[in-house]
Amino acid sequence: MSNDPAIELAIVGGTGLYNFPGLENVEKRAVDTPFGAASDAITLGELHGKRMAFLARHAAGHSIAPHRINYRANIWALQHLGARRVVGVNAVGGIRADMAPRALVVPDQIIDYTHGRFSSFCDVEGAKVEHVDFTEPYSATLRADLIAAAARAGVAVVDGGCYGATQGPRLETAAEIARLRRDGCDLVGMTGMPEAVLARELNIDYACLALVANWAAGCGGQAKISLPEIFAHLDAATAQVPPIISALLV
Ligand code: HPA
């Protein structure tokens, strides 16, 4: 742990969210971790006088693909700087009917379809193996606080849903999404795991704020996913994030 004062909240920004507007007393901190470099330097700053950290998961300029993100370095670095609560903001595709493009969702479950990612801090020669409980993958208190903050900010969010974490970077086939739907997934994204479990391993309260950028493949009556549409929807959904986080920190 560094000697910095505690951080009230850390945000890991996903596609479309590369910095956090309105922070004061900003400083950038590059953290050296036992797992290598984090995605980017971490921005430290204050919002309503409370200390906040921000990390761009894909790096500024979106240069790191989902399967190449150093999730361990990111979570370790945030904890090292004093973060005890982390909100992961993730772009997703909507599968369930009420998760249309531009919806914001605070999921409560995960199914992990990723592979070949370093998904544990125990995955190191000589480390003591811990089998963490992951029955409820997100922090119940942080989820509730996020949902209450969204209500105070006047932003509609869907409470609950199962996040299917896929490998990427390609989008899924219609058959893959049909399978995810049968499995019980309501949303699909590429970066929700292993971030959530790594936070759990370090006893960090973690919740996900998912931004629906598009209907998942084969959903919503579309024949194909349009990239320009994804970015337009994502911009609109991303604009709703700062007011929620601001209400969370007041
Ligand atoms: N699938 C996976 N990840 C995503 C999607 C999607 O349709 N949209 C945004 N991130």
Each residue's pLDDT expressed in tens, for the chain with a length of 250 residues: 566 778 999 999 998 899 999 999 999 999 999 999 999 999 999 999 999 999 999 998 888 999 999 999 999 999 999 999 999 999 999 999 999 999 999 999 999 999 999 999 998 888 888 899 999 999 999 999 999 999 999 999 999 999 999 999 999 999 999 999 999 999 999 999 999 999 999 999 999 999 999 999 999 998 899 889 999 999 999 999 999 999 999 8
91 lines ligand 1 (CB under 6 A): yes
pLDDT of residue 97: 96
188 lines ligand 1 (CB under 6 A): yes
Does any domain span residue 4?
no
pLDDT of residue 3: 66
pLDDT of residue 61: 84
- Pairing between strand 50-56 and 162-165? unpaired
114 lines ligand 1 (CB under 6 A): no
Residues 247, 153: contact at Cβ < 8 Å?
Answer: yes
Q: What is the residue type of 200?
A: R
CA distance 187 to 81: 31
Does any domain span residue 28?
yes
Does any domain span residue 192?
yes
Element (H, E) at 212: strand 205-215
Distance 64 CA to ligand 1 centre (A): 16
Burial 41-68 (b: 16+ CB within 10 A, else e): bbbbbebeeebbbbbbbbbeeeeeebee
The half-sphere exposure of 178 on its side-chain side, counting CA atoms within 13 A, is 4
In 3D space, the residue among 76, 9, 28 whose CA is nearest the CA of residue 250 turns out to be: 9
Does any domain span residue 200?
yes
User: Closest residue (by CA) to atom 5 of ligand 1?
Assistant: 93
Pocket test for ligand 1, best of 214, 225, 230 (most atoms within 8 A of CB): 214
pLDDT of residue 6: 84
User: Closest residue (by CA) to atom 7 of ligand 1?
Assistant: 93
Total domain count, the chain: 1
- Domain containing 76 equals 9-249
pLDDT of residue 123: 83
User: Closest residue (by CA) to atom 6 of ligand 1?
Assistant: 93
Q: Read off the DSSP letter of residue 67.
A: G
Q: Read off the DSSP letter of residue 215.
A: E
CATH label of the domain that carries residue 82:
3.40.50.1580
Does any domain span residue 189?
yes
What global pTM score does this model have?
0.96
209 lines ligand 1 (CB under 6 A): no
213 lines ligand 1 (CB under 6 A): yes
Residues 104, 157: contact at Cβ < 8 Å?
Answer: yes
Does any domain span residue 116?
yes
pLDDT of residue 195: 98
pLDDT of residue 128: 86
Does any domain span residue 184?
yes
The residues, ordered by sequence, that sit 6+ positions from 51 with a Cβ below 8 Å of its Cβ are 5, 6, 7, 8, 44, 45, 82
Burial class from Cβ neighbours inside 10 Å (0-12, 13-18, 19+) for residue 109 reads middle
Does any domain span residue 82?
yes
